Amino acid sequence: MGTLQTFLAFVITLGILVSIHEFGHFWVARRCGVKVLRFSVGFGKPLWKRTDRQGTEYVIAAIPLGGYVKMLDEREGPVAESEKQFAFNSKPVLSRIAIVAAGPIANFLLAIAALWLMYVLGVKTVLPQVETVLPDSPAALAGIQPGDEIVRIDSTETPGWQQVNMELLSFIGDSRTVDVTVRPGVPGVKPEGSEVIRQLSLDNWLVGDEGLNPVKSLGLVPYSPQIPAIVGQVVAGGAAEQSGLQSGDKILKTNGEPVQDWLAWVNLIRSHPGKVLQIEIERDGSVQRLTLTPGDKEVEGQRVGYIGAGVQSVSWPDDMTRTLQFDPLSAVPKAVQATSALTGLTLESLWKMVVGLVSVKNLSGPITIAKVAGASLQSGLENFLYFLSMLSVSLGVLNLLPIPVLDGGHLLFYLVEWVRGKPLSEKAQMVGLKIGVTLVVSVMILALYNDISRLF
């Protein structure tokens, strides 16, 4: 996906999340009798605006990195005597708590709605069958075999690799035994036999690991059908384009050696960074010879080659996929359950990051979000809906953290006021806000640094 499409996907994703979050504040504020002065999606110079009968200005602004709802408030400017009853600060503390909490709650409701729609439309998953188990890996020591289908992890059903990964992520930093229920079979053939429980031993698993990949870390290689070495996409300006490779080219030989499939081709390219390769291709029924020099980059401490080319998509065998689809009524509890699981995983991951079990290098900022948004939108509506729900849950959880400047920080102040019967002093609130701003800005800088590091 090109830069423009990625940016548009980012704007669409963030626009939905911000609009729903701010609408939560707006809707409850109106019902609590608070006058809303502005509802803005984005910051900076307005690109579009209009005003309704109640004096609320609706704005779409130039910088798509958030939004806000501005309410009438005596702390932010003079308020006419006739309008003081409509000011946010004049409302009872429980009303203010409801208004502030409504934004994050709206994000959780958005996640439920997105997952509900995903389940109603149906989401196609790949059967979580193991193709290879690496020797002496945790999976090998547990007795997991090639051809095993992972049916359940502890008590959680795992109909696809996505569910396997999500469940394994919850065990980061743990030292325990996990029951992995498998159905033995042969790679490439849907298992039909009885279930067997394998016991997986974890010891401070993935503590401090960067670029978390739980399936790979266990020594598991998921089954995938053999993919022919046919070029699907060519990145503009990359080594593949410079060599003359085109979409649809079939790679026959490299330096005189036959290329078996796409995986073998990728491994060959990765192992030859910066080296000149003579390749033989088939194009439109004729054989041609090209010279290709892979680029050179560092991945996980090693120099690897890359050429800027993607594989031509292939269809999975029907018996190696399954579709999760529910009627509108049955999809409701499934969506609520999935949202609850995402919320728990987000909270657990944040805590493990705080105590050092998860590396802070796994934090992601706007660049990574944009890339994933683009990829998920390109791969289908169902994948985009799942990504949207994950991001919405993350936004809801993060906003509820008791950090001043976030919704959770305001809630903390108002809860203290409710208990004490009077608000905290202005001095105490200002100190809290300064600490909150410093913490939030620091995390944002760290996330952006991680994004840029991944790019290079």
What angle, rounded to 10 degrees, do the helices at 93-121 and 3-31 form? Answer: 140
The reply to whether 370 falls in a domain is no
pLDDT over 90 (residue 66): no
Q: What is the pTM of this model?
A: 0.81
Burial of residue 406 (CB within 10 Å: 0-12, 13-18, 19+) is: buried
Cα–Cα distance measured from residue 237 to residue 249, given in angstroms and rounded to the nearest whole number: 18
The reply to whether 149 falls in a domain is yes
Question: Do residues 320 and 175 both lie within one domain?
Answer: yes
Can you tell me the mean pLDDT for 240-261?
90
Contact 96, 81 (CB under 8 A): no
The last residue of a domain, from among 311, 342, 362: 311
Question: Do residues 137 and 184 both lie within one domain?
Answer: yes
Output Rg (C-alpha) for the chain, integer angstroms: 26
The last residue of a domain, from among 259, 285, 311: 311
Strands, E, within 52-172: which ranges? 57-71, 123-126, 130-133, 149-153, 156-157
SS3 290: strand
Can you tell me the mean pLDDT for 421-448?
84
In sequence order, which ranges of 248-358 are alpha helices (DSSP H)?
262-270, 331-354
pLDDT band at 72 (very low <50, low <70, confident <90, very high): very high
Q: Which residues share a beta bridge with 290?
A: 279
pLDDT over 70 (residue 300): no
The reply to whether 134 falls in a domain is yes
Question: Do residues 147 and 256 both lie within one domain?
Answer: no
Mean predicted lDDT score pLDDT of the chain: 88
Give every CB contact of residue 68 below 8 A, 6+ residues apart in sequence: 22, 38, 40, 43
pLDDT over 90 (residue 196): yes
Can you tell me the mean pLDDT for 98-102?
96
The reply to whether 307 falls in a domain is yes
Dihedral angle computed from the Cα positions of residues 434, 439, 442 and 443, in that order, rounded to the nearest 10 degrees: -150
Tell me the CATH number at 202.
2.30.42.10
Q: Which of 184-193, 295-304, 405-414 is predicted with the least confidence, judged by mean pLDDT?
A: 295-304
Question: Do residues 320 and 217 both lie within one domain?
Answer: yes
Closest C-alpha to 443, from 393, 406, 388: 406
Question: Do residues 199 and 245 both lie within one domain?
Answer: no
Q: Which of 25-29, 285-289, 329-333 is predicted with the least confidence, judged by mean pLDDT?
A: 285-289
What are the φ and ψ backbone dihedral angles of 327, each rounded to 5 degrees? -70, 160
Can you tell me the mean pLDDT for 296-316?
81
Can you tell me the mean pLDDT for 387-409?
91
CA angle, 134 then 139 then 142, to 5°:
130
pLDDT band at 317 (very low <50, low <70, confident <90, very high): confident
- pLDDT in the model for residue 211: 63
Contact 232, 250 (CB under 8 A): no
Annotation marks residue 22 as catalytic: yes
Question: Do residues 294 and 263 both lie within one domain?
Answer: yes
Q: Which residue has the higher pLDDT, 375 or 137?
A: 137
Question: Do residues 160 and 287 both lie within one domain?
Answer: no
The reply to whether 388 falls in a domain is no
Question: Do residues 213 and 320 both lie within one domain?
Answer: yes
Looking at the structure of the chain, the number of domains it has is 2
What letter represents residue 141's amino acid?
L
The reply to whether 18 falls in a domain is no
Give every CB contact of residue 250 below 8 A, 6+ residues apart in sequence: 228, 229, 230, 231, 281, 282, 283
- Catalytic one of 22, 149, 167, 382: 22
Question: Do residues 183 and 320 both lie within one domain?
Answer: yes
Question: Do residues 132 and 209 both lie within one domain?
Answer: yes
The reply to whether 451 falls in a domain is no
Question: Above pLDDT 70, what percent of the chain?
Answer: 98
The reply to whether 73 falls in a domain is no
The last residue of a domain, from among 311, 337, 364: 311
- pLDDT in the model for residue 145: 94
Q: Which residue has the higher pLDDT, 144 or 373?
A: 144
- pLDDT in the model for residue 80: 87
Can you tell me the mean pLDDT for 196-220?
85
Question: Do residues 211 and 252 both lie within one domain?
Answer: no
Contact 98, 32 (CB under 8 A): yes
Q: Which residue has the higher pLDDT, 58 or 360?
A: 58
SS3 323: strand
Question: Do residues 269 and 163 both lie within one domain?
Answer: no
- pLDDT in the model for residue 2: 60
What domain range is 246 assigned to? 231-311
| Residue in this structure with the two tokens 């796994």, named with its chain if needed | 362
Closest C-alpha to 220, from 135, 303, 132: 132
Question: Above pLDDT 90, what percent of the chain?
Answer: 46
- pLDDT in the model for residue 302: 79
- pLDDT in the model for residue 359: 74
